């Protein structure tokens, strides 16, 4: 299998803050850009994006039904989502753990960035409903 070599990755920051010198929108580069993309993909609900109704997860619906929650299903959803929509990463591990008492889901995603000689990246974030 040929080795993929990447050039740098760059995305705009969703905060839309201005760069103090150039007055342009600030940008996220390389691992920060990919980290933000992975988190945005996982937090996107099915049907939320126009013209691409299969992009996203059912995590929003799951947060209100944690008593019947199956972490294996959500884990497989996240794996399929990232493998299909984030080609810049090579997943190594996805861990999902629900806490029904606090109504939250802990998500831990470990991956390597394709083509960049960086150590394994690890993202950990908590999903919780916006209305309780």
Question: 3-7, 45-49, 78-82, 102-106 — which is least confidently predicted?
Answer: 3-7
Q: Taken in order 57, 61, 69, 63, is the CA torsion positive or negative?
A: positive
- Which contiguous run of DSSP H or E holds residue 66? none
* Confidence band of 14 (pLDDT split at 50, 70, 90): low
∠ CA 51-53-55, nearest 5°, is 110
Whether the pLDDT of residue 12 is over 70: the answer is no
pLDDT reported for residue 80? 93
* Confidence band of 120 (pLDDT split at 50, 70, 90): very high
* Confidence band of 1 (pLDDT split at 50, 70, 90): low
Whether the pLDDT of residue 108 is over 90: the answer is yes
What fold does the segment set 23-127 form as a domain?
A: Nuclear Transport Factor 2; Chain: A, (3.10.450)
Please list the alpha-helical segments (H only) found in 2-86: 30-43, 59-62, 71-85
Average pLDDT of 25-30? 66
Q: Which residues contact 116 (CB under 8 A, 6 or more apart)?
A: 6, 30, 31
Give the model confidence (pLDDT) of 82-105 as tens digits: 999 999 899 999 999 888 788 888
What pTM value is reported for the model? Answer: 0.78
27 and 12 Cβ atoms separated by less than 8 Å: yes
Strand partners, 98: 105
- Rounded Cα distance, 109 and 43, in Å: 13
- Rounded Cα distance, 82 and 7, in Å: 20
- Rounded Cα distance, 78 and 84, in Å: 10
Phi, psi of 68 (to 5 degrees): -110, 20
Mean residue pLDDT across the chain = 80
pLDDT reported for residue 18? 73
């Amino acid at each position: 299998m040929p080795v993929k070599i990447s050039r740098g990755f760059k995305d705009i920051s969703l905060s839309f803050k201005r760069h103090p010198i150039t007055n342009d929108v600030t940008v996220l580069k390389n691992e920060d850009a990919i980290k933000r993309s992975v988190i945005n993909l996982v937090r996107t609900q099915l049907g939320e994006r126009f013209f691409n109704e299969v992009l996203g997860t059912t995590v929003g619906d799951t947060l209100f039904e944690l008593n019947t929650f199956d972490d294996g299903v959500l884990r497989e959803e996240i794996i399929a989502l990232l493998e299909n929509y984030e080609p810049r990463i090579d997943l190594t591990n996805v861990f999902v753990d629900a806490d029904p008492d606090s109504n939250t889901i802990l998500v831990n995603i470990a991956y390597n960035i394709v083509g960049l000689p960086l150590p394994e990246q690890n993202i950990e974030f908590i999903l919780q409903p916006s209305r309780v």
